């Protein structure tokens, strides 16, 4: 597997990296790249067959063998702030509901009533029990079936053996991870990561949008900086750099650092005193289908739910970076989130739609990912290995 030619000690810092490089090492590496006109490069060039974006069988394998078997971030812990808080949505094509129980622990269930399969929860909210809307069968927050209206109509039916069907849920790094199928051990999501989302971070917006794009094309657009000058000449380039990134690979995951021009001021700061907040954007890719973008004042948790070979639902949780409930910090975070979403990200969406439409052109048998696109190379290497494991 391709690895970059450096290895740094782990840092236990908050909102910092973790496996390979701490913030100070990232800052030094960025300053070196600026001084030398260089960027991080990977070892391998990867050719991904275009058919892997167009094949129904391939998508089915990705969903069944990778997305369902991987511990996948389902929502931030902060989306389940209190006892009874729940989030229901489809994950890898399966309706799932995650809920914080009376013991404070998060559990997740297949979202289907044990009577005739109606979904027992929809959207998000806070509840004391899940009452099926169809006939009123009622489950507690731990999934136990507690009440059947007119129970005499079901002689011999054992409520105890008909709880909501659990899937594995685990809170880690400020996220709720769900694993649907543990028949084949998937990857270890820890992969050297430290906490990503802190306890004071609040969710201030959630959004769901659907795009006519394969989920992998969508993902690829976020994890390389080789396109900044061409795609974002007026939005991101004036504040950032073209093709100047620090790329960490850890376990199945990666992190791409996008520095801002203003990081140059750190040259005058002693290395151990350098703080990078507001001077760069970190984009984490948590394999297989989740992105966490840490910007100056806000953090996005972006979940890519494949719906078809050419259709993806994007679920986004936008969170404050700090300040808790401070209205000033919240207003700034909202303003930044709006700016990024309306400018640079709109340009990215235009590109990925055009790529999707171009798949049918037949021009390419394969796409070539080069040494500046090493986080994408790592993704395809990891995905290929995960599909081959089964
Ligand atoms: S389907 Fe849920 S109560 Fe009938
Ligand atoms: Fe972009």
pLDDT tens, residue by residue, 122-142: 999 999 999 999 999 999 999
Q: pTM for the complete prediction?
A: 0.92
At residue 341, the pLDDT reads 78
Ligand 1 pocket: which of 132, 149, 154, 159 to mutate (most atoms within 8 A of CB): 132
Residue 127 region by backbone torsions, left for phi larger than 0, else alpha for psi between -120 and 50, else beta? beta
State the Cα torsion 222-226-229-235 to the nearest 10°. Answer: 20
Here the tokens at position 374 are 């090493």
pLDDT of residue 187: 66
Residue 92 pLDDT more than 70? yes
- Distance set, CA 28 to CA 5, 163, 275, 342 (Å): 16, 54, 11, 31
Cα 358 to chain centroid, rounded:
26
Q: Across the chain, what does the average pLDDT equal?
A: 91
Is the bond preceding 125 in cis, omega lying within 30 degrees of 0? no
Q: Is the pLDDT of residue 259 over 60?
A: yes
pLDDT more than 90, % of the chain: 81
Q: How far apart are CA 298 and CA 347, in angstroms?
A: 20
Judged against a pLDDT cut of 60, whether residue 302 lies above it is answered with yes
pLDDT for the residue numbered 193: 73
> Which ligand ends up closest to the CA of 118?
1
Residues in the chain: 390
Region label for 324, one of left (φ > 0), alpha (ψ between -120 and 50) or beta (otherwise): left
The residue whose CB lies within 8 Å of the most ligand 1 atoms, and thus the one to mutate among 116, 131, 149, 157, is: 116
Work out the average pLDDT over 24-50: 96
Number of H helices, E strands in the chain: 8, 19
For the ranges 219-228, 230-239, 330-339, which has the lowest average pLDDT?
Answer: 330-339
Q: Give burial (CB, 10 Å; 0-12/13-18/19+) of 144.
A: middle
């Amino acid at each position: 597997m391709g690895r970059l030619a450096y290895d740094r000690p782990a840092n236990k810092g908050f909102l910092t990296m973790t496996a390979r490089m701490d913030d100070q090492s990232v800052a030094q590496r960025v300053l070196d790249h600026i001084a030398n006109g260089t960027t991080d490069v990977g070892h391998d060039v990867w050719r991904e067959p275009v058919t892997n974006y167009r094949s129904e069988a391939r998508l089915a394998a990705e969903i069944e063998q990778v997305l369902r078997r991987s511990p996948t971030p389902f929502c931030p812990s902060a989306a389940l702030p209190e006892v009874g808080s729940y989030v229901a949505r489809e994950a890898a094509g399966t309706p799932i509901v995650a809920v914080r129980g009376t013991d404070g622990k998060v559990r997740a269930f297949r979202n289907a009533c044990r009577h005739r399969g109606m979904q027992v929860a929809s959207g998000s909210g806070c509840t004391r029990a899940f009452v099926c809307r169809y006939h009123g069968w009622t489950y507690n927050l731990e999934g136990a079936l507690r009440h059947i209206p007119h129970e005499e109509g079901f002689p011999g039916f054992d409520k105890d053996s008909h709880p909501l069907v659990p899937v594995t849920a685990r809170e880690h790094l400020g996220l709720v991870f769900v694993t649907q199928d543990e028949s084949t051990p998937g990857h270890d999501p820890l992969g050297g990561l430290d906490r990503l989302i802190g306890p004071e971070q609040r969710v201030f917006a959630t959004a769901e949008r659907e795009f006519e794009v394969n989920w992998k094309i969508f993902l690829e657009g976020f994890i390389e900086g080789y396109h900044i000058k061409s795609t974002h000449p007026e939005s991101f380039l004036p504040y950032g750099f073209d093709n100047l990134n620090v790329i960490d690979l850890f376990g199945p995951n990666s992190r791409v650092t996008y520095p801002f021009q203003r990081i140059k001021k750190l040259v005058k700061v002693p290395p151990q005193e350098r703080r990078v907040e507001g001077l760069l954007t970190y984009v984490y890719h948590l394999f297989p289908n989740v992105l966490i973008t840490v910007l100056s004042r806000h953090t996005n948790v972006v979940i890519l739910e494949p719906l078809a070979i050419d259709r993806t639902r994007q679920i986004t949780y936008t969170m404050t970076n700090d300040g808790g409930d401070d209205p000033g910090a919240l207003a700034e975070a909202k303003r930044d989130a709006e700016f990024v979403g309306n400018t640079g990200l709109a340009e990215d969406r235009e590109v990925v739609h055009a790529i999707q439409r171009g798949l049918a052109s037949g021009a390419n048998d394969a796409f070539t990912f080069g040494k500046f696109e090493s986080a994408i190379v790592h993704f395809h290497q990891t995905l290929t290995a995960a599909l081959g494991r089964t």
